[in-house]
Structure 1
């Protein structure tokens, strides 16, 4: 009889606010608000259904009349499963099927704790009312008061004369007061009527009706707005609206008003296609851009999709189109950064087995700001086969592809290329080193539809190219224990060498469809190719010598790494990008005995000081080909001071088609002023132009209850000449802006992402030196 009555007390809904799981993980322990009662410890152990259903009742004194009333007094505890009700006195009326409890009343379970003046539970309707209640969510910041807390027969929760906050203390920084709150335990949403938001005790907002999630389920509604001002866009106000269409679909619509340009709308639709596929659609639109003289309409549409059809088949799709070349430079798109100038459109389907794979793809690249358009891949089919240790330790591999190149402008040549690349290698690996010998045959056939352009006069309709390749690569690992500066280290010495031979064939009769020069860093010295793609395969007869040494401390952390290498040419290379009758017009170093020296260094100088750098230096010409150096001071979490310098000669300016040298000096810092306030800033200076190219300063204050970020940004703008929008005289060379982000925790999220987010908020992202750790 008592067991049936007690079940009604266990129907309190489990209140959990959406997205609070992440908030807890990021919240300092000092922000957690604990109820003024001891955590409930179950009186039993065991998780079987019988153990969870068993009821424990204890009290100092009890009396009962069969079929009428039972009274419990003095340290009363009703326990079942993980829930407990404690009170000074409880009366169970069997005739009316009601339970009355009062005196230091506490309800507890794994989710929340409630204290109240009194409790009345009605068994017939499975409902209960708690008066003068206070509640706390376990392990979270949310807590509040309620004059009346009712559990309905549908297991919903009704709070009258209530409030809640995430702030600790008796005088919270912010408080939401409401006449009534309803928590639907089935739908897991909360409805709030006549709500007032108070900050520092002052009402700042009245909301007659609003809804909030009380679980991790998604909920349609407005998200927190953002505000900013800049010289290019004026005052900006963005108010996103989230629409939870279905479990597998949702949509976010963001009207963004810019006083200098107009109304800019952004729509993002996300979807799930089964368990292993997902994608999204984006549409952005700005009608009649008031900032430009001819007031053009500006737009973007984007689609991406990826996933697995089954354990073997994979699909990938990505397509983006914009109205003009300067779209990303002027507008804050959700799809791409202003520093990206390529729109890569891809559709691909792949099949994978253990020893082989197959793929088919189409690809089109749109380069913003350049008149020349790259070739389209329509389509490309590849097949790879791998047979490791197929005979006496020999590995066999086969790479093959068939690619059709087309161009949007029909006056350009088109081509179909078939390439076969079988290889046999013999790898020997051991703790002391490795030696790999490899032989390849590079067989390529072209069928070219040659245009009437005079520059294509050297091209032939059909080309058959066969090149042999031999590559021998070896490395030796030496190791010793030593000490430097009174510290013990394990030092490695790793010399390596490579011999590379690639046969020569005149390739001036082949067009350039997907080929470009690869980066010439230390790792690039040991490649077997100088070009990406297959339209040019450079001949080679050369040795590469390299040396790497590392230091590991007693915790086995790498604290020093230095690499040095150079190519020794036995014969001059005769293949360049723009060959004319077999003569090389691209390279200089191939006509010398040695390549430029490539060196790289990463080291922990001392304690919290780190140094990284690289250089490519031409000894014969006494010329710096490329260099960069960075010094970091990182004494602790969110503490950073960095100075950097980089030099890149002969970098092509896509606007003027002229080569320029980049000489750039940079400083970056992040430092906490106290536990709640920290500063982030950076400054980059162009030594050639004698001007700053970016300045960023940001302050962020974050407490348990709210967070605010104020930042100033001044940076150079990339302005492309756009044939579709030729008016360029109104475009600023530099952009400056002030940005304000304000978040009330518990209402609008958990606040800005912190120092790492601010360090990435610029043209030059912070990059920590590789391999080295604090």
Structure 2
């Protein structure tokens, strides 16, 4: 499970474990003790460690007392003591040392005024101590520091911080700290937190984890203000129920809406299964007429029962269509409009697998609900090299399609068809692979039977349909390469032509309903698919040839600097299969010309683009372009443009053209201060659709981020308001994140986190490394 770091319950989490990696530089932030840290060798006999003492002068009385002075060094196992003078009481097995005193072991260095060590129980007490943890930021003072025989630490009148010496950004003071090394917990009494020297928090008693163990307590709060939610304050509380269970409860108060409660419960079911349950509830939303209650519940479970059985469950439901648009949910974002409900159990063997699956998808804002899979039973068999390099595979399924509105429509005298589908798909393929290229020949048979119910007499559907469609596919690729020079730079260039011939038989399928089928996108990789539609309700006939070519450039380090692909389908016969009988699809003699390119243009400039162009109509069907300038870590300027014509608006059922341009940037102002911003503009509507500006300061011991967000809201028809409510088309807000490092959090995640804020996430060329 993911470890949560706490506010009041993790004030000293790094005393034993490795510290957080701060933004500026790990080497800059690690506080070094004033004396060198020796390379401590592990002891070979921990039960009977020999004490070795060296000094410039010494005097001893046999069996009683020995006095050492001048550059005194005492070693015992992993521990090292240096002092100006030391007295060893052999009768009481006690060592006293003082004067420029240094005490070191593998975990920390302590300087002190005096030391008293008791040899018989391996304990020590240091007065006037200053301590530094090796390899970490943590350091502090203690009036008295005691190391107990069982290696626990007791600190009296002490303090600690993760800030560099001389930096008083924050400091924790305590009357007493006890750290139990066996239980890996610490106890703190009378704790006072000072920020810039000003006391801001007092806690009489607290416990803290000093390893990766989890502990119940408060997490860091968040603050924001927006035009829709008003002032928003969230204070999460973490409950460590058991090693295999935990829960986070987050009261989130919004001045415009009310109290929004979020609950996340996580669990482990054995070594190989895990799950999560989310419950969210807003009582009487004040921003909507009628003050409706709003809620979410979500359950996800997945894992392996044993080496063969796998289970999956995923269920989410919300009170209304605009839930994710209005509320800051922990389950999904505002751009998500589909709720998946899936339950599956599957059995896997080397050459075959079988499973049973139930699925229901809720599309927010859609009046027409998709069909439910209730259930689907599948069986798949694979036999590579069945005979003479001939591969055989067999896929099959039995699916029952139900509809949640079927009962209501039946009572209203209307009908909606449901069906049971049996599909088997045997295939034979003969692949040939080599350095010079590849060639695959494939034969496949689609055999499908439908038993359809509850359809209207004039629907054109049949009660029983048997469909048998053969398919043949030939696919070949050749790899050419040569050495070339461009702009006085040596490259290895490849040329990879591809060709595919696809034949799919024709059968009239207009008497079959649409249960899980939709059109697929015509990008470059889609040109070489053997299917035009997703799902099995429509299998389009085909007699076509696809031509494509890819070229790449590799530098002397064998790193890809450019990739360009272009291709097109040439139809030898018209498509006779449509999604709907009344929908007459255009039957051109060739598909769109699809091209994609990723390139490192020059030094730190990168280009990525894709185009789908209708060569017959000479019309752009889709295009996306980005130009990146990335000269170093956390440095980015990206220009982007995307165009999608004739896109269906699911809210209004109108066809719209999407033409949007944007700029996104991230740049360090100093080593500890950087800026991230983006701006996207709708060229058709002549308006901004999203603006984000964020500034983050991150030092070794604290971080703060201030951001402003202005974005368009995706609003669906309200299904919870008593009367129609006007909705703000845009939302704006100011957000503040503040974290003290070492006091319960590692701070904002940095540039990558800020680049992914909002509707448009940052994407860089997929195939290129920088």
TM-score higher than 0.5: yes
Give the Cα separation in 2 of the matches to 1:619 and 1:727: 50
Cα distance in 2, alignment partners of residues 644 and 398 from structure 1 = 44
1:193 aligned partner: 189
Corresponding residue number in structure 2 for 1:335: 331
- By how many angstroms is 1:63 displaced? 3.8
Q: Deviations over 1:527-567 (max 9, x none)?
A: 00011110100000000011111111111111111111111
1:234, 1:25 → 2: CA distance? 31
Per-residue Cα deviation, 1:688-732 (whole angstroms, up to 9, x for no partner): 111111000000111111111000000000111033335442421
**Residue 18 of structure 1 contacts residue 213 of structure 1 at CA under 8 Å; is this kept in 2?**
no
Length, aligned pairs only: 751
Q: Deviations over 1:293-320 (max 9, x none)?
A: 1111111111111111122211111111
The aligned counterpart of 1:5 is: none
Aligned counterpart for 2:428 among listed residues 396, 416, 424: 424
Give the conservation status (yes or no) of the 8 Å contact 2:42–2:78.
no
Cα deviation for residue 202 of structure 1 reads: 2.5
User: Where in structure 2 are the equivalents of 1:536-551 lying within 5 Å?
Assistant: 536-551=538-553
Distance 2:186 2:89 in 1: 33
Tell me the TM-score normalized by structure 1: 0.94
1 CA distance for matches of 2:42 and 2:177? 36
- Asked whether the equivalents of residues 17 and 213 of structure 1 are also in contact (C-alpha less than 8 Å), the reply is no
How far 1:770 moved relative to its partner?
1.0
Instruction: After superposition, give the CA deviation of every residue in 1:51-91 in whole Å (9 maximum; x if it has no partner).
Output: 99454333334444344323333333332333222223232
Give me the CA root mean square deviation: 2.0
Q: Does 1:183 align with 2:179?
A: yes
Structure 1 residues not aligned, in runs of 5+: 1-13
Equivalent position SS for 2:526? helix
Match of 2:575 in 1: 573
Query: Cα gap change, 1:29/1:125 in structure 2, threshold over 3 Å: closer, same or farther?
Result: closer
- Distance in 1, matches of 2:95 and 2:634, equals 55
**What is the CA–CA distance in structure 1 between the aligned matches of 2:405 and 2:32, rounded to whole Å?**
69
Choose from 437, 440, 449 the match for 1:445: 449
Point out which structure has higher relative CO (alpha carbons under 8 A, 6+ apart): 2
Contact 1:24 1:139 in 2 (8 A): no
Q: Matched residues in 2 for 1:52 and 1:705: separation?
A: 41
Question: Residue 413 of structure 1: which of 411, 417, 428 is its match?
Answer: 417
Q: Higher mean Cα deviation, 343-352 or 23-32?
A: 23-32
1:34: which partner in 2? Answer: 32
| 8 Å Cα contact 1:51/1:81 also seen in 2 | no
Q: Is the 2:314–2:341 Cα contact (8 Å) retained in structure 1?
A: yes
**Maintained 8 Å contact 2:22/2:698:** no
Aligned counterparts of 2:552 and 2:47: Cα–Cα separation in 1: 59
2:21 is paired with a residue whose SS is helix
1:362 aligns with 2:358: yes
The Cα offsets for residues 112-142 of structure 1, whole Å up to 9 and x where unpaired, read as: 1111111123456664321000111110000
Separation in 1, partners of 2:17, 2:614: 56
SS of 2:534's equivalent in the other structure is: coil
Cα distance in 2 for partners of 1:348, 1:508 equals: 31
Equivalent position of 1:8 in the other structure: none
Instruction: Work out the CA distance in 1 between the residues paired with 2:644 and 2:130.
Output: 65
DSSP-derived class of the 1:372 partner = coil
Counterpart for residue 504 of structure 2: 502
Q: Label 1:114 to 1:494 Cα distance change in 2 as closer, same or farther (>3 A).
A: same
Structure 1 residues 338, 103: closer, same or farther in 2, change over 3 A? same
Contact 1:488/1:554 (8 A) holds in 2 = yes
Match of 2:482 among 459, 463, 480: 480
Say which SS state the counterpart of residue 533 (structure 2) adopts.
coil
SS at match of 2:754: helix
**Does 1:385 find its partner at 2:381?**
yes
Provide TM-score, normalisation by structure 2.
Answer: 0.94
Cα contact 1:293–1:730 (8 A) shared by 2:
no
Does residue 58 of the first structure (1) align with residue 54 of the second (2)? yes
Q: Which of 726, 749, 756 is the aligned partner of 1:753?
A: 749
